Amino acid sequence: MVSEDIEAQTMISSVEDTPKAVKEWLAATFTKQIFGRRQAVEPPKFRSIVQAVRASMYVDKITRKTSQAPVDVSPANQMLQEELNNWDIDVFKYDVLTSSKPFRGLFGEVLRRYGLVKRFKINLHSLENYCALVENGYNMHGNPYHNAKHGADVLITTHNLISSTGFAAG
């Protein structure tokens, strides 16, 4: 959110750098009534026009971002949304719902919940590839205990410890 504010502010860098002709055109354009007559009130200051344009660009940017975000409605993601904060989440059921790939979606969801994907600008495709490599490493030797299900279970437990103790608050 802060980077979006900074980006919006830098789009129109400085009111003082704007040529006088542009200022006059903007003031004339935005102070006319429908039939071309000027209003009896004093025209708005150039600075308030710039602020209105900035606000408009900011709102446009936010609405474009939220409308383009894909929504995962898979049963596995729905289970995470509903049960991730529960101590008794069924890791075996989640493993079945993810076709024995429980670590991938879970790790990404935990990072998103703590705001780490956004904070560190993690590329989601790279994150997916990383999680696939970790998961494949877990399953490489066919160990019946130290496998991707165990990794997912440890991650869920760690998440619940952090979130229930307030360690991640703030």
Q: DSSP letter at 39?
A: P
| CA separation for the pair 71, 66 (Å, rounded) | 10
Which pLDDT value is given to residue 35? Answer: 47
| CA separation for the pair 115, 168 (Å, rounded) | 10
Q: Say if residue 85 is exposed, middle or buried (CB neighbours under 10 Å; 0-12, 13-18, 19+).
A: middle
Q: What does 109-131 look like in DSSP terms, one character per residue?
A: HHHHHTTHHHHTT--HHHHHHHH
pLDDT digits (tens, 9 = 90+) for 87-123: 999 999 999 999 999 998 899 999 999 999 999 999 9
Which pLDDT value is given to residue 154? Answer: 94
pLDDT digits (tens, 9 = 90+) for 25-74: 667 666 654 445 555 556 667 777 777 777 777 777 776 655 455 666 78
Among 108, 148, 115, 112, CA closest to 129: 108
139 Cβ contact partners less than 8 Å away, ≥ 6 residues apart: 100, 147, 148
What are the residue numbers of the active site?
146
Which pLDDT value is given to residue 8? Answer: 45
Which pLDDT value is given to residue 156? Answer: 94
